[in-house]
Every structure is written in C-alpha cells, then in structure tokens.
C-alpha cells in the first residue's frame, strides 16, 4: 500500500487522499453568513415599514426555529445549530408584506421547515427551497393577505397603495396604457416620493440635459427601494451588496443568478414592450429587474446549493430556464411576480438536469467520481 501521508521530499509530488478542496467553510458557517448578508436589506425593510416589519420577521424566525427544534427532537438529530432553520425563517419573513396577519408568516415558515425540508430528510435532501415553498404555500392559502401592502414610511395597510410592479399590472390591463413601465405608472397617477421628484428633476436639468436624455419620474425610488412591497425585497442595492459579499466568499456561485437575471432582463427588454402597447426592444428591463422579488430570489434562493444543479453547464441551463419561466409568468401569468413559482418549477427539473449532465460526462470521469 503506497504511503499517502504528507511527508514531502523536495521536488517530489505530494500525495494525499481526496478530498483535495481547501474549503475552510462548513455548512453551518455558510448558512450563517448568508443570513448575515441579508441583514442590511432586512434593516432597510424595518426602517421603511416600522414595527410591523419587526413583528413579521420575529414571528417567522420563531416559527422556523420552533419547527426545526420539534422536528429534530422527533428525528433525534439536533440540527438547530446548522443555521438553515434560522435562514429559512429570515427569508420567509423578508418575503412577506409588513402588515400581514402574524399566522401567515408562522404557517409559511413552519410549512417550509416541516413539510419541504424535514419531511424529505433534512438539510441537503430537500428538493425544493424551503423558504420559497413556504411562501408559495402562504400565497396560495392567504392570497388576500399576501397582496395587501403597507405604504413605505407608514404602516397603514391599504389595498390602494400598491408596489410598482402590482400597480403596473393593473395599469396595463386598462385601455390606453402606452409607454415604458414608469411612464405608464406616472400617467396613471402613481405617486412616488417628493425626494424622488426633486432628485430626478435636478438630474434631468443639470446632468442629463446636455446629453438630451431624461430620467423618468420614480427612477430614484425604484433604484433605492423607497417603495411599498415585501419587507426584504424592496432594496435592490442592499441585496446586491449582500450578494456581492457571498459571491466574493464563493458561498453563492455566480452562474445561476447571473444567467437568471440576464435572461430575464433580455427577454423583458425585447418582448416586454408589447404589454405596454409598444413594439420590440422597449420593455423597461431595469424596472422589471429591480421590482418584485427577483434580486432577492435570484441571489439568495435560486443559487441555493442544495436545490440547484451541481455541474457548471447545469447551472447555466438552470439559470436561463428560470429567467425564461419568470418572464413568461410575470408577463403572461396571473400570479403577479412569477419569481417564486418559477424557482419551484426549476427545482423540480434539477434532478433531471443533474442526471442528464452526468450521463454526458466521459465514462472515465464518471468512474473516477464513483
């Protein structure tokens, strides 16, 4: 038997048994870091929607942790420390409107942990993202409560105050809606903040006028995330900040989110204009990427290592497919945002993708990988 210890003579090969990865990250450290990366967006949501947002997030976290504790007691396997229960709870809380009745986040988080994750054997064996599964369960069960939004800056619940994406959906169904998303919104009397008005008009007057370009009203609010919406989804810059941290630590592989967002933005740009009564290449991709739960879901849930393909090719196919599905569901579906359902449908295709791509690998490589 050859000596595989790491005693190493100068100039000779270093033999050591697999695995050869130098990863110092344990699974639990990874999930805790993902939770950490979500904190800025959560803080923004709390700043925007106030105490009700705190109540929703705390309820969701408690429900997730209690469900995790109860199920781990049932399986006699203590899993609270791996952080995945906490992460699921946090994600569920962030995907709720701030004023939702508290049993909705509790039920969604419990459903995600108990049904989607633990019933299939716990972390690593779930074929569907637990947080998204829980949120879609809530969306199907309490669709009224899940689509009632508190206005940014105050906590009054109202069906009149819609997030930009939802407002756009109702606006384009009305006759005579022509233009890019923000134009349609302003022509239908959608109110953006006064800060947005002054910043956009200042930019148009002083910076953009030499280039004969104008910025549509509402651009600042959309980009910063000063709009009604779900607690954690509104602030794209803070979500991207967290995502950049995760990508730099190689916790989130960039292929899936990038393919996802790029495909969606491209399709929205090319074909999205038809929904607004315009032709090709006029869809307003920036608006569509920044509104809804696209950024949050693409970076924090679509790239989840458990429920996305293993191979790099698979990641690209998966991300592209998610972009296509989201485009179809958002522009032609009835479920509004379309991101959550697309990812769940994509999750279903992952085992198939993995199997197909494994069969395409050369026989020797397959043998080697066992």
Long-range contacts of the stretch 29-34 (C-beta < 8 A, 24+): 30/251, 31/82, 31/83, 31/84, 31/86, 31/87, 32/83, 32/86, 32/87, 33/245, 33/246, 33/249, 33/251, 34/87, 34/246, 34/251, 34/252, 34/300
69 part of the interface to other proteins, by CB under 8 A: no
User: What is the Cα–Cα distance from 287 to 345, expressed in whole angstroms?
Assistant: 24
Neighbouring CB atoms inside 10 A of 160's CB total 7
Before 19, cis peptide (omega within 30)?
yes
Q: Outline where the chain has alpha helix (H).
A: 27-49, 51-75, 84-94, 103-110, 130-141, 143-146, 164-173, 181-187, 194-202, 219-224, 236-248, 255-271, 285-290, 294-297, 312-332, 339-360, 363-369
Which lies closer to other proteins via its Cβ, residue 145 or residue 215?
Answer: 145
Options 136-144, 156-164, 294-302, 356-364: segment touching other proteins (CB under 8 A): 136-144
Q: Which of 26, 119, 156, 201 binds other proteins (CB under 8 A)?
A: 119
Which lies closer to other proteins via its Cβ, residue 146 or residue 286?
Answer: 146
CB of 266 to other proteins, least distance (A): 32
> Which tokens is 112 given?
């995600």
Which lies closer to other proteins via its Cβ, residue 115 or residue 311?
Answer: 115
350 part of the interface to other proteins, by CB under 8 A: no
CB of 143 to other proteins, least distance (A): 8
Q: Which of 141, 204, 214, 320 binds other proteins (CB under 8 A)?
A: 141
CB of 230 to other proteins, least distance (A): 19
Which lies closer to other proteins via its Cβ, residue 146 or residue 317?
Answer: 146
142 part of the interface to other proteins, by CB under 8 A: yes
Binding-residue pattern over the window 98 to 117 for other proteins, x denoting contact by CB under 8 A:
---x-x---x-------x--
User: What is the Cα–Cα distance from 131 to 109, expressed in whole angstroms?
Assistant: 7
CB of 137 to other proteins, least distance (A): 5
The number of CA neighbours under 13 Å toward the Cβ of 167 is 27
User: What is the Cα–Cα distance from 295 to 95, expressed in whole angstroms?
Assistant: 12
Options 62-70, 137-145, 285-293, 346-354: segment touching other proteins (CB under 8 A): 137-145
Q: How many residues bind other proteins (CB under 8 A)?
A: 11
Q: Which of 140, 213, 241, 352 binds other proteins (CB under 8 A)?
A: 140
Which lies closer to other proteins via its Cβ, residue 142 or residue 274?
Answer: 142
137 part of the interface to other proteins, by CB under 8 A: yes
Q: Which residues bind other proteins (CB under 8 A)?
A: 101, 103, 107, 115, 119, 137, 140-143, 145
């Amino acid at each position: 038997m050859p000596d595989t210890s790491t005693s190493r003579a100068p100039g000779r090969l270093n033999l050591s048994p697999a695995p050869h990865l130098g990863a110092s990250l344990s699974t639990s450290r990874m999930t805790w870091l993902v939770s950490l990366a979500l904190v800025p967006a959560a803080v923004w949501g709390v700043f925007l929607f106030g105490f009700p947002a705190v109540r929703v997030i705390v309820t969701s976290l408690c429900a997730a942790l209690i469900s995790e504790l109860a199920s781990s007691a049932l399986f006699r396997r203590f899993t609270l420390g791996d952080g995945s229960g906490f992460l699921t709870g946090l994600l569920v809380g962030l995907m709720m409107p701030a004023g939702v009745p508290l049993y909705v986040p509790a039920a969604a988080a419990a459903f995600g942990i108990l049904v989607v994750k633990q019933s299939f054997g716990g972390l690593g064996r779930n074929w569907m993202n637990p947080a998204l599964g829980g949120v879609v369960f809530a969306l199907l069960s309490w669709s009224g409560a899940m689509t009632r939004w508190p206005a940014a800056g105050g906590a009054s619940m109202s069906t009149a105050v819609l997030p930009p994406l939802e407002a756009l959906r109702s606006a384009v169904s009305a006759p005579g809606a022509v233009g890019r998303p923000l134009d349609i919104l302003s022509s239908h009397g959608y109110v953006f903040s006064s800060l947005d008005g002054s910043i956009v008009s200042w930019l148009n007057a002083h910076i953009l006028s030499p280039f004969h370009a104008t910025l549509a009203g509402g651009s600042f609010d959309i980009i910063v995330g000063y709009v009604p919406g779900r607690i954690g989804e509104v602030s794209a810059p803070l979500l991207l900040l967290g995502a950049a941290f995760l990508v730099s630590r190689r916790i989130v592989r960039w292929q899936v989110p990038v393919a996802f967002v790029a495909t969606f933005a491209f399709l929205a740009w090319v074909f999205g204009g038809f929904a607004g009564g315009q032709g090709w290449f006029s869809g307003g991709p920036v608006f569509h990427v920044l509104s809804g739960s696209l950024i949050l879901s693409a970076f924090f849930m679509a790239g989840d290592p458990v429920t996305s393909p293993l191979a790099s090719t698979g990641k690209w196919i998966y991300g592209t497919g998610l972009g296509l599905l989201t485009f179809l569901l958002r522009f032609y579906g009835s479920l509004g945002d379309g991101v959550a359902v697309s990812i769940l449908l994509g999750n279903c295709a992952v085992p198939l993708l993995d199997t197909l791509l494994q069969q395409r690998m050369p026989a020797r490589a397959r043998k080697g990988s066992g």
